Structure 1
Amino acid sequence: MTPLPEITGLLTVEFTLTIYGLRCVHASSSDHALRSFLRSSPLQAAVMAMSGIEVNEEVVTTFAKLKNTSGAGRIKMIEMRISDSGKEVIVESSELRADGHTPEKEKECWEAFLAKLPPKEPRWFVYDYSYKKDDGLREKILFVHWAPDEAPVKKKMLAASTKEAIKKKLTGLHVIVEASAMGDVSFEEVDAKVRASSK
């Protein structure tokens, strides 16, 4: 482990760290107290835990299928999580688009998707979203970072720290949705965000 830099004197650290409901604001401490906080906090544990996490190749190949396949057999949704070993991001599940899917059915599909969100575990999802606009059919690939308020703090911070590594592997994402509560991913909220991205 890389040693923390020496900190001397009375320090006032003022910052806002927002990671899906976790906020740290106005922390004041002596050097000893601050070093103790950094070493014992969930933040330090999360940083240590994420150091070896990689994105499994199946994540990349499954995303490529979603992006490049059309018609029958097109993937609608990919669910990802950190493996039990804590060393990589893996595909937990994926679902194909239903036969006869149309933009008019998107709300129904989205509501079914919401029912799959674990209430106390972070997850990442890629979702193929379709909708109609004035000039016809549109499709957007959504990346959903789900870190519910009731998830353990360490898991939320680890998920947030790993998010960028996943996004870098998945070229072609259109809309990023970050959520800590069901209200953040309501159909109305997400549909408005998707349509705003098309302006």
Structure 2
Amino acid sequence: MANSSSGVAVNDECKLAFLELKARRSHRYVIFRLDDENQQVVVDKVGTQSETYEDFTKSLPDNDCRYAVFDYDFTTDENCHKSKIFFIAWSPDIAKVRTKMLYASSKDRFKRELDGIQAELQATDPSEMSWDTLKSRAL
């Protein structure tokens, strides 16, 4: 079903990849993009469980927008192992204005399709989504 504000639909593959990350922990991250016709959100890249946050950030394009989910594992001060699923809206300053507007207008609808997101980040450059930023948002 298309998004009422932007007309962008969500491909079923996106929901399936997210469920695999959330339920089975089979992925470290999933990156999503708009297809070439800007008609629907599709899976751009899936990161294996062995990939790092650095691998994830290097997978984001320097000049184009993306949505992503990242499974952040951490240990609390009480030595408890936990995990939080972050939704990241990547919108670099040098991306085309029209593209940034389309991603921004489609974000909330897309995010609602991914049931189980626990935290959100919006970033326009890598410093806004540093490892320390994730860590501070997770606690």
The two structures have a TM-score, normalised by structure 2, of 0.91
1:87 pairs with 39, 58, 66, which one? Answer: 39
Task: Name the amino acid aligned to 1:81.
Answer: R
Identity level (%): 30
TM-superposed deviation, 1:126: 0.7
Instruction: Calculate the aligned-residue CA RMSD, in Å.
Output: 1.6
TM-superposed deviation, 1:109: 1.4
> Which residue is 2:30 aligned to?
78
Q: Distance in 1 between matches of 2:6 and 2:68?
A: 22
> Which residue is 2:8 aligned to?
53
TM-superposed deviation, 1:134: 2.5
Task: Name the amino acid aligned to 2:73.
Answer: S
Larger Rg: 1
> Which residue is 1:122 aligned to?
65
Task: Name the amino acid aligned to 2:45.
Answer: S
Runs of at least 4 residues off by over 3 Å: none
Q: Distance in 1 between matches of 2:74 and 2:6?
A: 39
TM-superposed deviation, 1:162: 0.7
Q: Distance in 2 between matches of 1:122 and 1:116?
A: 12
Gaps of 5+ in 1: 1-47, 99-107
Q: With CA pairs under 8 Å and 6+ residues apart, which has the higher RCO, 1 or 2? A: 2
Q: Distance in 1 between matches of 2:55 and 2:38?
A: 28
Q: Distance in 2 between matches of 1:61 and 1:112?
A: 22
TM-superposed deviation, 1:183: 1.0
Q: Distance in 2 between matches of 1:76 and 1:109?
A: 8
1:149 aligns with 2:104: no
